Amino acid sequence: ENVLIKTDVVIIGAGPVGLFAVFELGLLGLSAHVIDVLDKPGGQCAEFYPEKPIYDIPGIPACTGQELTDGLLAQIRPFEPMFHFNTSARHVEPLGDGGWRLTTDAGEVFEAPVIVIAAGGGSFMPKKPAIAGIEDYDGKSVHYAVRKIDAFRGKRLVISGGGDSALDWTMALQPVAQRVTLVHRRAEFRAVPDSVVRMLALADAGKIDFMLGEIVSLHGEEGILQRVGLRTDTGVREIGCDAFLPFFGLTMKIGPIADFGLELQAGRIVVDTEKFETNRKGIFAIGDINVYPGKLKLILSGFHEAALMAQQAFRYARPNQKLLFQYTTTSTKLRDKLGAA
Ligand code: FAD
């Protein structure tokens, strides 16, 4: 059953630029729904470097990716954006009145005069290991994410990878699984040191198996795994396995947005530098996803683009109203909107 949602603006992408767009639109009285394929806001800042410092946000000498995300969320709270996580924007089509209809893979249908694409490097997708025939098992017994821990109860699990996801899920699934085997190519990990210590303690206590090596083959029928081939220093052997969970990190792909009928250049969306609008009126692209002469893929550029986009978005969403330029410092109207004293 599809749900129809009518709003001023739909923003695709809850990265830093999509979040700040909520603010700039909100100042002009426009409300926004924000959708993201990830299960949380922050885009690259939250996914790739939550604990690393950023030094070039104007006025903030240093903050981590997560701190910037938290600050943006606090800043936009007065505008009550509606978030739709775990949701991918799939398709856009024009409405008769000049607006747009956008559909998602979660069954929502949005109708809005303005769509803002703040999709960064594109959708985050799991990196898949190069094992012959792996796609036959995808979603059935090979999983790149854990949605429900209970789905793995009583199963023989093989988890692969050396980062935080591999270690976190090894520890979270160990109590419910029949057996967890963690396989990693090297003895070094790219994870929080404390997780490594806890994982090795579980292995020492015989509660999990930790193997140095690589999964090289899958064996089963009709997508149901029975065994996997494990290659180690001493050769290849097969181990019993009901579910294989490779955690090899995420890459970004432009994904369904490539089919939105927008002019692209090397996988990025071409915009003007006055309104950051695409070749389709009412569809804007801001942040890392766009391209124009002189473009810098920096957060501060995306913030500027959001401010100029909002000016034109207002004209589409409120065709009969006049747009006044105001400072947040001195405008009582803006201060009211922000809930400031
Ligand atoms: P993103 O942060 O990429 O967010 C886009 C969001 O859109 C993602 O969450 C994605 O899941 C979502 N999305 C994409 N397609 C869809 C779809 N079809 N449906 C639903 N959702 C979708 N920049 C700086 O300015 N200073 C720095 O110091 C700095 N350091 C960096 C360090 C690292 C390690 C990296 C990787 C980047 C760094 N950057 C830095 C770059 C900065 O992170 C990006 O410029 C910024 O994240 C771009 O923001 P964005 O909102 O445009 O896109």
Closest among 146, 130, 131 to 245, alpha carbons compared: 146
Q: Return the residue whose CA atom lies nearest to atom 29 of ligand 1.
A: 54
Q: Is the CB of 108 under 6 A from ligand 1?
A: no
All CATH 3.50.50.60 domain ranges of the chain, comma separated, are 3-124+251-337, 128-248
By DSSP bridging, strand 63-64 and strand 53-54 are: antiparallel
- 253 three-state secondary structure: strand
What counts of helices (H) and strands (E) characterise the chain?
Answer: 7, 23
329 annotated among ligand-binding-site residues? yes
> Where is 305: in which H helix or E strand?
helix 299-317
Mean pLDDT of 133-138: 95
Q: Is the pLDDT of residue 322 over 80?
A: yes
Burial of 298 (0-12, 13-18, 19+ CB in 10 A): middle
Give bridge partners of residue 212 from the DSSP assignment: 184
Supply the angle between the helices 164-173 and 193-204 in degrees, to the nearest 10.
Answer: 40
Reported CATH class of domain 3-124+251-337 = alpha beta
Give bridge partners of residue 67 from the DSSP assignment: none
Question: What are the pLDDT digits (tens) for 58-109?
Answer: 999 999 999 999 999 999 999 999 999 999 999 999 998 889 999 999 899 9
209 annotated among ligand-binding-site residues? no
> Where is 126: in which H helix or E strand?
strand 123-126
Ligand 1 atom closest to 46 (CA): 2
Query: According to the model, what pLDDT value does residue 11 have?
Result: 98
Q: For the chain, what is the mean pLDDT?
A: 95
**DSSP one-letter code for 50:** T
Please give the backbone phi and psi of residue 160, each rounded to the nearest 5 degrees, phi first: -125, 140
What's the fold here for domain 128-248? FAD/NAD(P)-binding domain (3.50.50)
pTM of the model: 0.79
Interatomic CA distance for residues 248 and 129, integer angstroms: 8
Ligand 1 site-directed mutation target among 44, 76, 257, most atoms within 8 Å of CB: 44
Query: According to the model, what pLDDT value does residue 341 have?
Result: 60
Measure the CA angle with vertex 77, ends 74 and 83; round to 5°.
Answer: 110
Closest among 210, 2, 222, 191 to 90, alpha carbons compared: 2
Return the minimum-mean-pLDDT range out of 14-18, 41-45, 332-336.
Answer: 332-336
Contact 233, 219 (CB under 8 A): no
36 annotated among ligand-binding-site residues? yes
Interatomic CA distance for residues 42 and 54, integer angstroms: 13
Contact 308, 301 (CB under 8 A): no
Q: Is the CB of 15 under 6 A from ligand 1?
A: yes
